[in-house]
Amino acid sequence: MKLHKMKDGVYMIPAVHWERRLFDSLIPLPDGTSYNAYLVEGSEKTALIDTVDPMKAEFLMEQLKDVKRLDYIVANHAEQDHSGCISLVLEKYPEAKVFATPKAKPMLMDLLLIPEDKIITVEDGETLSLGDKTLRFIHAPWVHWPETMFTYLEEDKILFTCDFLGSHMATSEMYATDECKVYESAKRYYSEIMMPFRTSIQKNLDKLKDLTIDIIAPSHGPAYNKPEFIINAYHSWVYDEPGNIAVIPFVSMHGSVKKMVEHLEGALKERGVIVKPFDLTVTDLGQLAMALVDAATVVIGTPAVLAGAHPDAIYATYLANALRPKAKFISIIGSYSWGSKAIDQLSGLLANLKAEVIPPVFIKGFPKEADFKALENLAETIAQKHRENNLK
């Protein structure tokens, strides 16, 4: 099989997983995904940067069929979709050594049973010569595990970022040519994987400022031969103020909560707020995660189930809390028949959010005139807070 050449001596090995629809048994993959390894051949040594998911081991080994000697395997990240074939590669190339951060070493030993003496740890800024090519290791913790690093190929100005700046997108394109499509996939990826680590991402984006980068080569989705496209997108997602947007994830069992959501939506729109409702019984949670990147307000809607909140609303609340979006305001609306501790239950799940809590509107039965008025007051409070914060 022919290697995908990026530059002289630099090859992408893209294991495209068109049909995969769920990642980590958790994350929806509407566009599939890919796992990119990279082969760098210097005048004296050859290195493989990351491997691929074990489900694509056969593809990787086929790609390496004509590679006679491999000296180094760089493990930018210990998660198995990139490290999972290291043992297999070591079987084929027993002379090879694995390079990883000090934090990655025990993980590789624990997760993949790689012998300790096979792994060489590298410090931040350390270089490894391949002869006429030089790899520089840049520690980049918490994108999205504690052990992560980037590898910079100095002579060709290629930055291998593993998960960082990647996208869950199956594609036959080496580079991001359809920028609208890639933007959507990269934003989905950011919202689901990277958003909880915004502070670390800011530090790691800062680290890239002093590098001249011609190509960003992540290990999911296409590479970027216009690096500013993805760097600018990340700057916007990480640094920009949230927009004048209210996201309403909700569940309705008998129509009461749906009526409340519709009324709140109308009242917010009348006041100039952009509204994104998500019926959680049919929602792709990736779409909800993407909406959370930009929203200033989150309003969770739930009916009462067994004296608590609906399980889908509990999960959405847990998710919003875990993803740590930039939302500044949060509230809850809902309806019950004979009793509910839904407000206490959902409020207790929101400890991570640094958002101001706006008093909930929780009603008995189908909404009545006073309930509609309460929802309009909620809409007015949200709109006013957005105006006070100059949200656009």
175: DSSP letter: B
Comparing CB distances to ligand FEO, the nearer of 163 and 376 is: 163
Q: How far is the CB of 355 from ligand FEO (least distance, A)?
A: 27
Q: How far is the CB of 142 from ligand FEO (least distance, A)?
A: 11
Q: How far is the CB of 166 from ligand FEO (least distance, A)?
A: 7
Q: How far is the CB of 231 from ligand FEO (least distance, A)?
A: 19
Comparing CB distances to ligand FEO, the nearer of 7 and 103 is: 103
Comparing CB distances to ligand FEO, the nearer of 133 and 168 is: 168
Calpha distance 74→137 (Å, rounded)? 9
Both tokens assigned to 379: 């809409």
Comparing CB distances to ligand FEO, the nearer of 82 and 258 is: 82
Q: How far is the CB of 74 from ligand FEO (least distance, A)?
A: 15
Comparing CB distances to ligand FEO, the nearer of 59 and 250 is: 59
CA distances from 344 to 307, 348, 360, 382 (A): 11, 6, 11, 21
Q: How far is the CB of 244 from ligand FEO (least distance, A)?
A: 33
Q: What is the DSSP string of 343-384?
A: HHHHHTT-TT--PEEPPPEEEESS--HHHHHHHHHHHHHHHH
Q: How far is the CB of 92 from ligand FEO (least distance, A)?
A: 23
Whether residue 84 contacts residue 53, with contact meaning beta carbons closer than 8 Å, is answered with yes
Calpha distance 69→83 (Å, rounded)? 19
Comparing CB distances to ligand FEO, the nearer of 188 and 220 is: 220
Q: How far is the CB of 168 from ligand FEO (least distance, A)?
A: 9
What are the CB-based long-range contacts (under 8 Å, 24+) for 172-181? 172/16, 173/222, 174/4, 174/6, 174/12, 174/14, 174/222, 174/223, 175/222, 175/223, 175/224, 175/225, 176/221, 176/222, 176/223, 176/224, 176/225, 176/226, 176/229, 176/230, 177/222, 179/229
Comparing CB distances to ligand FEO, the nearer of 33 and 345 is: 33
E strand or H helix that includes residue 322 = helix 311-323
Coil, helix or strand for 235?
helix
CA-based diameter of the chain, in Å?
79
Whether residue 273 contacts residue 382, with contact meaning beta carbons closer than 8 Å, is answered with yes
E strand or H helix that includes residue 62 = helix 57-63
Q: How far is the CB of 14 from ligand FEO (least distance, A)?
A: 14
Comparing CB distances to ligand FEO, the nearer of 36 and 283 is: 36
Coil, helix or strand for 91?
helix
Amino acid occupying residue 202: Q
Calpha distance 354→336 (Å, rounded)? 28
Question: What is the contact surface with ligand FEO in residues (CB under 6 A)?
Answer: 77, 79, 81-82, 144, 163, 220
Comparing CB distances to ligand FEO, the nearer of 82 and 328 is: 82
